[in-house]
């Protein structure tokens, strides 16, 4: 990413529009909503705040295809002085730390500002207040693409009488609402499945959607973690050396990497044939490249820890899938943390059955990466492959079946297939975990289906006998003079004894 620093940002944007997901007016509108919603969720749930997110899309100029997008959250806000840089300087980022985020460095936000600028030439309006702030700051900002710096068109402060906190952003872009509508709705619904603790209120030109909060339980926010030594590259080492100029190699390693203490650092140095006491500031560029290589090759590191990951958790997945998919039953599992190439990851999976899920020849697949729904490029996603190859017939599933599969991969680094970031690549470690997660969830589904089948058989048996009771009781009463009501009651009791439970019990169960 740092290679691009020298390029004027607008130029970079022009060249990389597709990379960032702004191919065309429909995709750009979808991407804008997505970036804003993800920033809103990151600004809330990461800090233990129950998210409330409003999103509004309006038509500004139908002729020219201009639409406005407004998004507001109740998050931690952006400090007043930081607002211009956060929105107006490309590649402005904080210190290098890993933690599961939806977006990366808020880059998406700047892409929106640039996109707005290049299509409508309108600024982005921002209003924000941090927690307990006395003031609300309001800005209108554009990006000066020559100097790659924010241009503040307007700035104002208001007293924050009601201690509001959060961020509200409004942009005017070229966008195709009608073409993007279905995807945007789908995106919001799928977001609500993994974040049932969020309230998402959406209003578009001809649609409104209110995805209510289903629970106030939130998964614990991820902790900030250090990068694993297997994930370093020379750029990263350079930055670390700049910040720790006086440190020795031992100190650099033991203080800045996940799971590396003095013991491990010393063992690595011995293996790599490096002097542990050498000053890092004296290492040449070539030395740093070699050090990074050795660090990636060394097999003696401890496994990466997953403290920086935040899975949704089986309970929330089940809750969300039941509510949004209208499923009759949902079974979810969260696997134990694993890692690939030094990046910790956790796979979660849920299988949802019946209810409003339409029966289909293969499972409906809902994919997530770090709680972001992935809507495009399903065909090349590893989860699609695993779900299709899975032996569903071993789990009492016969297609067409009303089956939905949810796969959530969270990681400090999601291995996307391409820069479009819409499909997860076929990494053997991840593929294996997805398969195991599906197996665990499908086992629960199998038990559920078996129980349901047994109950359905009992119900069928009950019905096939009970339907004749009145006819028989009536006829025998006429022939013998016995009480019709008593005959019917006895027949019912005989049936209940035969199926081993009373009608009420059966009714409760099935």
3-state class of 307 per DSSP?
coil
Residue 394 is encoded by which pair of tokens? 């071993």
- Structural contact between residues 235 and 91, judged by C-beta atoms closer than 8 angstroms: no
* 370 phi/psi in degrees, rounded to 5: 45, 45
Residues in 98-117 that interact with another protein by CB under 8 A: none
Task: For residue 477, count CB atoms less than 10 angstroms from its CB and return exposed for 0-12, middle for 13-18, buried for 19 or more.
Answer: middle
Question: Is residue 476 a contact residue for another protein (CB under 8 A)?
Answer: yes
DSSP, res 230: G
Q: What does the angle CA 113 – CA 194 – CA 23 come to, to the nearest 5 degrees? A: 30
For 61, other C-beta atoms within 10 Å of its C-beta total: 12
Q: Report in angstroms how near the CB of residue 481 gets to another protein at its nearest.
A: 9
Q: How would DSSP label each residue in 160-175?
A: -TT---EEEEEEEEE-
Q: Which of 472, 485, 501, 509 binds another protein (CB under 8 A)?
A: 472
Q: Which stretch binds another protein (CB under 8 A): 47-55, 135-143, 357-365, 479-487?
A: 479-487
Question: Is residue 475 a contact residue for another protein (CB under 8 A)?
Answer: yes
Q: Which of 285, 391, 479, 500 binds another protein (CB under 8 A)?
A: 479
Our CB check for another protein shows the closer of 234 and 477 to be 477
Q: Report in angstroms how near the CB of residue 499 gets to another protein at its nearest.
A: 9
Q: Which stretch binds another protein (CB under 8 A): 136-144, 159-167, 445-453, 469-477?
A: 469-477
Our CB check for another protein shows the closer of 379 and 481 to be 481
Report d(CA 195, CA 189) in Å as an integer.
10
Q: What does the angle CA 443 – CA 446 – CA 450 come to, to the nearest 5 degrees? A: 145
The binding track of 449-468 with respect to another protein, each residue x by CB under 8 A or -, is ----------x-xxxxxxxx
Report d(CA 112, CA 124) in Å as an integer.
9
The binding track of 133-172 with respect to another protein, each residue x by CB under 8 A or -, is ----------------------------------------
Q: Is the dihedral of CA 441, 447, 451, 453 positive or negative?
A: positive
Q: Which stretch binds another protein (CB under 8 A): 93-101, 198-206, 222-230, 477-485?
A: 477-485
Our CB check for another protein shows the closer of 234 and 510 to be 510
What's the Cα-to-Cα distance from 181 to each of 28, 175, 207, 421, rounded to whole Å?
A: 12, 11, 9, 20
Q: Report in angstroms how near the CB of residue 453 gets to another protein at its nearest.
A: 16
Our CB check for another protein shows the closer of 177 and 462 to be 462
Residues in 480-499 that interact with another protein by CB under 8 A: 480, 482, 486-487, 490-491, 493-495, 497-498
The site for another protein (CB under 8 A) is made up of: 459, 461-468, 470-472, 474-476, 478-480, 482, 486-487, 490-491, 493-495, 497-498, 503-504, 506-507, 510
């Amino acid at each position: 990413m740092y290679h691009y620093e020298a390029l004027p940002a607008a130029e970079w944007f022009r060249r990389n529009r597709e990379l960032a997901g702004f191919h065309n007016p429909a995709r750009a509108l979808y991407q804008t909503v997505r970036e804003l919603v993800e920033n809103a969720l990151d600004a809330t749930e990461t800090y233990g705040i129950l998210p409330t997110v409003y999103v509004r899309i309006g038509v500004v100029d139908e002729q020219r295809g201009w639409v406005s997008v407004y998004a507001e959250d109740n998050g931690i806000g952006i400090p007043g002085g930081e607002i211009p840089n956060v929105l107006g300087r490309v590649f402005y980022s904080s210190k290098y730390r890993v933690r599961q985020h939806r977006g990366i460095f808020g880059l998406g936000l700047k892409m929106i500002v640039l996109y707005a600028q290049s299509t409508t030439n309108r600024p982005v309006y921002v209003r924000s207040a941090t927690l307990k702030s006395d003031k609300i700051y309001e800005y209108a900002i554009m990006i000066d693409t020559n100097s790659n710096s924010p241009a503040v068109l307007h700035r104002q402060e208001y007293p924050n009488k009601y201690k509001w906190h959060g961020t509200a952003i409004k942009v005017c872009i070229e966008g195709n609402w009608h073409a993007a509508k279905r995807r945007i709705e789908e995106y919001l619904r799928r977001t609500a499945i993994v974040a049932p603790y969020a309230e998402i209120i959406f209003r578009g030109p001809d649609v409104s959607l209110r995805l209510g909060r289903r629970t106030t339980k939130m998964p614990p926010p991820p902790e900030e973690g250090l990068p694993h030594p297997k994930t370093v590259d020379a750029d990263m080492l350079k930055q670390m050396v700049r910040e720790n100029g006086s440190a020795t190699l031992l100190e650099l390693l033991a203080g800045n990497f996940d799971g590396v203490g003095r013991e491990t650092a010393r063992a690595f140095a011995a293996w790599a044939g490096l002097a542990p006491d050498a000053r890092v500031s004296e290492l040449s560029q070539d030395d740093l490249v070699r050090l990074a290589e050795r660090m990636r090759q060394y097999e003696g590191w401890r496994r990466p820890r997953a403290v920086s990951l935040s899975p949704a958790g089986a309970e929330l997945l089940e809750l969300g899938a039941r509510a949004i998919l209208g499923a009759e039953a949902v079974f979810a599992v969260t696997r134990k943390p694993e890692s690939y190439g030094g990046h910790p990851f956790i796979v979660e999976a849920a299988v949802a059955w019946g209810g409003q899920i339409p029966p289909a020849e293969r499972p409906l697949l809902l994919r997530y990466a770090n709680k972001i729904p992935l809507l495009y490029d399903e065909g090349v996603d590893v989860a699609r492959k695993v779900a299709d190859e899975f032996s569903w017939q071993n789990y009492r599933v016969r297609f067409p079946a009303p089956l939905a599969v949810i796969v959530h991969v969270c990681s400090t680094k999601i291995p996307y297939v391409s820069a479009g970031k819409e499909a997860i690549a076929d990494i053997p470690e991840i593929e294996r975990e997805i398969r195991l997660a599906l197996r665990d969830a499908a086992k629960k589904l199998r038990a559920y289906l078996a129980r349901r089948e047994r109950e359905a058989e009992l119900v069928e048996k009950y019905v096939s006998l009970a339907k004749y009771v009145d006819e028989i009781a009536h006829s025998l009463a006429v022939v013998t003079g016995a009480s019709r009501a008593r005959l019917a009651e006895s027949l019912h009791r005989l049936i209940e004894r035969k199926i081993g439970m009373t009608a009420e019990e059966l009714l409760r169960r099935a």
